[in-house]
Amino acid sequence: MGEERRKYKRVRLECEILYPSVIYNNEKRTFCDNCKLYTVDISEAGIALKSNFFIPKDAFVSFFLRIDDYLPFKALVKVRWNKNLNGYFYCGGEFIALNLEDIHKIRTYILKQDNKTEV
């Protein structure tokens, strides 16, 4: 396996995202109960997602993300890659226009998770 080329540290984050919206080719679609979307991992710059529906590359995904006990915040992600694996669709992308408070929430979570693995 190759050397990690990412600028930011990634850590595992597993939670369900309810009612995400996907924007692609100027069309917005909001998904409901039968469409499942979960987080896989997160960094300050982006997030990886797992779903039972396809999300195309270059689409935007909009959702509320809750990390630990913080209030949920609105996240907008531009999808940079996708793949199909074991019956699920995986995609990853970069956060668009997060404010400093939300970046701080992510950074704090990453540091906390990183410290857990060192013990």
pLDDT in tens, 32-72: 778 899 999 999 999 999 999 999 999 999 999 999 999 99
User: 3-state DSSP call for residue 5?
Assistant: coil
Residue 6's pLDDT is what? Answer: 64
Q: Where are the domains of the chain?
A: 11-114
Rounded to two decimals, the pTM is 0.88
Please state which of the four CATH numbers 3.30.2020.10, 2.60.40.420, 2.40.10.220, 2.60.40.1120 is assigned to the domain occupying 11-114: 2.40.10.220
pLDDT band at 8 (very low <50, low <70, confident <90, very high): confident
Contact 45, 55 (CB under 8 A): no
CA 109 to chain centre: 14
